[in-house]
Structure 1
Amino acid sequence: MDHSTPSIWLALDSRQAGGIETHVVQLANGLRDHGWHSRVVFLRDHGPHPMKDRLADRGLPWSVLDGRFFSLARLLRTARPSILHTHGYKAGIVGRLAARITGVPVVSTFHAGETGTGRVALYDRLDRWTSALSQQRIAVSQSIADRLPWPSSVMNNFVDVPDPTTIGNQIAFVGRLSHEKGPDIFTRLGALHPGHPFHVYGSGPMATELQRTASANIVFHGAQADMDTVWPRIGVLVMTSRHEGLPMAALEAMARGIPVIATNTGNLPALVRHGDNGFLCPVADIAAFDTCLSTWLTRKDQRDRWSVTARDTVQRAFSTRAVVPQVLDRYRQALRIGT
């Protein structure tokens, strides 16, 4: 390893694939493209994980720890990475404390658009208040930044933009089947269009109830290990979230020319321009979603325009090429502060 080049550890605690996991893979890949060394560190071994396969396929290094605080602290003390970059509340809380006692600078990215309930709400508060221990804080939307008690940089989520391909015709929901993502709103929308199949890609605590109550045209596919094989089937992505930051699924879809019908929450209005590259609806407004979906279904003459504009939007402001240099600036500032 060239020790003149900073080494970045990207830390997370992950049980399944999701938006944070996609973000970390994209970031690790982008860092390598810019000549920076990185390693993804899973704080605990939760068994087989599609993210590990994606990292291995790209030749990106990763390690798994045993979930104990002192194991992370000991490894930080001996390996001495230049920066620990945390993702998610568990990695944020544990990582910042371990880095503090070992003298490793910390950058923390805050992804969650919702505060959760019960134990998750407690972890969320601890995550936000211990953010003072970070040399740099990054939020993926202004609403997330506004909840942090310390100054942060608002930075777009980002994805690689693949070469243009033809897109499919499925009406799809992609995400965790949990209340904040609004999959129940999607299935209610599907009931208004019994002549069209509605496809659900994802799993979560609402899965059983949704499958029990959904109309016959709702097709449940479960969690997907590799969305790259799924995106070519999709013609429009419907994001019915009650709370959001800047969802990776929206970026991945638009990067492939798939327009998005989404709620106007979190940083989605910065990505989706109503009627231009997609559509925006008030949260839980079934009538608005119905109107937008009907427009997409009937205005086939506009689909090519929506597709091209969606892809161009991501290319300009939400791509790895556009955003990773901003992350590198935060790293350089953290290194200056931490020395």
Structure 2
Amino acid sequence: MNDDLSTAGSYVTAGAEFTRDTNYIDDRITAFRTESGHDAEGRLLWPVESDRYRLIVARGCPWANRAVISRRLLGLEKTISLGIAGPVHDKRSWSFDLDPDGLDPVLRIPRLQDAFLARFPDYPRGITVPAIVEVASGQVVTNDYPQITIDFALEWTAFHREGAPQLYPEHLRAEIDEVNSVVFSDVNNGVYRCGFAGSQKSYERAYRTLFDRLDWLTERLSTRRYLVGDTITEADIRLFTTLVRFDAVYHGHFKTNRQKLTEMPVLWAYARDLFQTPGFGDTIDFEQIKQHYYIVHTDLNPTQIVPVGPDATGWLEPSGRDALGGRPFGDGTPPPPPPAAERVPDLV
């Protein structure tokens, strides 16, 4: 627990609507090269190379959770190593307090901030996960989380496992992008716009937008198993990481309390279907999720008391979603169990 509240971050600005800083280190790791060393949008390109990079995540963070799921589904565990920060951070950085001696065992640093400062000594922005760090130099490469998973799907194909699914198929990309855009604005970030609202008016506006979008998603998913097409795609990964945190955190901590996820039958069944799909539920640690939000956000929860509930065993109840058809992995296959060092606690 962070007993020194002077190092705690501040997440709510009185009287203001929450606005997320979406400026990240936008370098990319790609299989294609250009003469300039940059892509068409001017982003620096790094080469795809096995064992060169380390993905740094935290189990509590939904944005990092996306990268963990994508890496699992595509079978990149032996290609890109995984460093897991603890669930609690302060305003300076995520730290590796779960590891022996409080050091990442590969990078040998106590704080993710060290990798950012190794490359940018005056780095002015937040230290965020997921981040990819070059192992040899110890320098951060990118923390551009939306691009990281897209590049996992498209640029790392030479290292995908046999049977890896198509998470961002070309013929569905326009629709995936469209769905992702509204889900990010209204749901992924929408819960934060509720929780970190600095006024009653901004909270109520975000609340209405969130539940209007959840109603829209309910209607969309009432007749189809997945968000886009008949297989799991990037769109499902992005929605899942918010839904899986809904009852444990957002419903109470962020005041998104019109209904619990368990009281929205279609979305609850959809989320359980994904949770029980290899590569999804086996990345979820509910205790670390709760610790992250309830301990870190001291301006919302100054006591830092972490709730005991809710009972998570309902995630294992049959979803019945297979009656809608669909093929989770398309022509591919489920991933094998996660490496022993990356396993999360069982629910029962």
Q: TM-score, normalised by structure 2?
A: 0.29
Question: In proportion to residue count, which structure has more helix?
Answer: 1
